[in-house]
Amino acid sequence: MIPSILNPRSSFNTAWLDKLQGALQGEHFVKVTTGLSRHLLIPLIAIAVFLGVWAAAASKIDTSLGTFPGPAKVWEQTVQLNKEHRAEREKESAFYERQHARNAERMKTDPGYEPKIRSYTGKPTFFDQIVTSLVTVATGFLIASLIAIPVGIVCGMSATLYQALNPLIQIFKPVSPLAWLPLVTMVVSAVYVSDDPFFAKSFLTSAITVTLCCLWPTIINTTVGVSSVDKDLLNVSRVLRLGWFTKTMKIILPSATPMMFTGLRLSLGIGWMVLIAAEMLAQNPGLGKFVWDEFQNGSSDSLARIMVAVLAIGFIGFLLDRGMLMLQRRVTWDRNAVLR
């Protein structure tokens, strides 16, 4: 897929592109129809082998924070994190109760007071951090898609515009979003000034950083998808004298959907990876901050807790990708197309 970026024209209607895309998306998995055993058994065996190798290798690696955590220790910390989460929730409800009591008391002596309920001041738990990260990546991704899809469509339809934008896209695409991070941080703190901000600055910084790196794969793939619409279909539209809008909606968009979704899935995957790094670097709330904090703590449980986060990040990334795939299945016009 990547080479097509360099010159979309050379890749019009090329079968190798589809093939490559297929391979990337794990076509062979779906095609395997020889029964449940292969579907379930093989992955299970692979996971068991992985756990075995991990456990064996982990016990050999000695760090200054103790031996590298094996599966057992990581599981133990998963349970521990869950326990901490529940304890924190209990503390939270006690906090609100105390606050109500205090407000009621103050109302007695200070009738002019307008009671306010302040949100909980305790620490965010591991699961809170996951939610924060998900909301952030969703926001960034959504903004990026809203920009990238129209831009991609227009670029795909107009060769002139494509020529105009292509150099910019090519220059900004390879920039690591982490290089943007300091700039985004400074701009957000300078521009987003309000007394009672609806969004936290750190949230905006992370979301915008995600946006900046989610743009490019979607733009490029949408462009390719739109510009490689089957010539026959375009001829049909010409014969039927379809208007510009109808042509776009009925012919171009449906044909370009698979490529567009490839771009979106790539974007989301990159966005998720970048978000974790941005959170680590900028100390913005989320899973990345969780990892960084644990690294800083340097307790004997830290490595296991980081490992829990690593697995959680991977698992969530996987679920996000599957989610996009399901979405693609719902919106695609060709029900018989094999989606990977």
Which residues in this chain contact other proteins in the complex, by CB under 8 A?
64-65, 98-99, 102-104, 106-111, 113-119, 121, 123, 128, 131-132, 135, 189, 198-199, 201, 283, 293-294, 296-300, 302, 305
Q: How far is the CB of 298 from other proteins (least distance, A)?
A: 6
DSSP state letter for 62: E
Tokens linked to 246: 């109808």
Question: Residue by residue, what is the 3-state secondary structure of 116-153?
Answer: CCCCCCCCCCHHHHHHHHHHHHHHHHHHHHHHHHHHHH
154 Cβ neighbours under 8 A, 6+ residues apart: 161
Output 27 or 88, the one with its CB closest to other proteins: 88
Output 195 or 232, the one with its CB closest to other proteins: 195
**C-beta atoms surrounding 186 within 10 Å:** 11
Q: How far is the CB of 295 from other proteins (least distance, A)?
A: 9
Distance CA 242, CA 235 (A): 10
Tokens linked to 313: 């990040």
Q: How far is the CB of 131 from other proteins (least distance, A)?
A: 6
Output 128 or 261, the one with its CB closest to other proteins: 128
Output 14 or 189, the one with its CB closest to other proteins: 189
Residue with tokens 């996009």: 324
Which CA distances in Å does 110 have to 100, 104, 239, 317?
Answer: 15, 10, 79, 51
* Phi, psi dihedrals of residue 287, rounded to the nearest 5°: -65, -35
Q: How far is the CB of 190 from other proteins (least distance, A)?
A: 11
* Phi, psi dihedrals of residue 62, rounded to the nearest 5°: -105, 120
Output 64 or 160, the one with its CB closest to other proteins: 64
Q: How far is the CB of 121 from other proteins (least distance, A)?
A: 4
Output 77 or 223, the one with its CB closest to other proteins: 77
Tokens linked to 184: 């985004």
Q: How far is the CB of 123 from other proteins (least distance, A)?
A: 4
Q: Where are the alpha helices (DSSP H) in 9-157?
A: 15-24, 27-31, 36, 42-60, 71-109, 126-157
- One-letter identity of residue 327: L
Q: How far is the CB of 119 from other proteins (least distance, A)?
A: 5
Output 155 or 308, the one with its CB closest to other proteins: 308
Q: How far is the CB of 84 from other proteins (least distance, A)?
A: 8
Rounding to the nearest 10 degrees, give the CA dihedral for residues 182, 222, 26, 40: 80
**C-beta atoms surrounding 339 within 10 Å:** 15
Output 122 or 243, the one with its CB closest to other proteins: 122
